[in-house]
Structure 1
């Protein structure tokens, strides 16, 4: 199982390639070391999954009914926002142009470990989605973790 935490500042080259930090590569399951999946995030970001983690989500989305209009819409939107990428010999992944635009990525990216996946953000946009108030952070932790 993948285990990603922390945040990493990364550079994108002019072709839209990003070098994965060594600590992220080290946490990729051996089966998925070269096969990764990128998804457009719900916010203006990208989500990077090892193939094993993506397959779990894929199975859930694929199981939705093609006969239900709402479920079809979810499937269509989800699957059109997916790209399979591979690590090259230099440890880089090529991010598709449409995905770069969705996440407003240009020269810099902030990678944030989210447990079993990684979020990719434009560093300036990321700040808009952060909790700034320690009490709000505490309240959310209590609400969702204190059972």
Structure 2
């Protein structure tokens, strides 16, 4: 199983290209090759998926009933701006200007591996969205991860 993990500081080149960190590239599934899918995140960030991981999500969204207005609205917003990107010979890919504006990314970015995907953040916005209170983080760990009293934090 390939697990995308870690937090990496990156710089964009003047053309808006980002070099995918080597550890992230090395953990991409072989079947993804150099093809990835970039979408807008639910928070003000971009989300980068290997093709196989994207296919699972794509199929779920496409399975929604197109005759239901709420589902159509969700599909329209979910797929808005979705683009396929290809890594070049130095693992670099283009971030479209509309996506950069959405995420507020200018010259620097933070790439965060989250298992089946990576988020790409403007560094200042990323800090705003992190939990700063250790007690809150601990409570969330207990709530989301503890299945019995032996795991209580």
TM-score (normalised: structure 2):
0.94
Structure 1: which 5+ residue stretches go unaligned?
none
Summarize deviations over 1:82-124 as a string: whole Å, max 9, x none.
Answer: 1100001121010111000001111100001111100000001
Q: Which has the larger radius of gyration?
A: 2
RMSD: 0.8
- 1:28 shift after superposition: 0.6
For these two proteins, the number of residue pairs brought into alignment is 147
Cα pair 1:2 1:50 within 8 Å, conserved: no
Cα pair 1:2 1:117 within 8 Å, conserved: no
Runs of 4+ aligned structure 1 residues displaced above 4 Å come to none
- Map residues 38-53 of structure 1 onto 2, 5 A cutoff: 38-53=38-53
Q: Which residue of 2 aligns with 1:16?
A: 16
- 1:4 shift after superposition: 1.1
Structure 1 position 120 matched with structure 2 position 111: no
- Inter-partner Cα distance in structure 2 for 1:72 and 1:28: 31
Q: Which residue of 2 aligns with 1:66?
A: 66
Q: Which residue of 1 aligns with 2:108?
A: 108
Structure 2: which 5+ residue stretches go unaligned?
148-153
- Inter-partner Cα distance in structure 2 for 1:128 and 1:115: 22
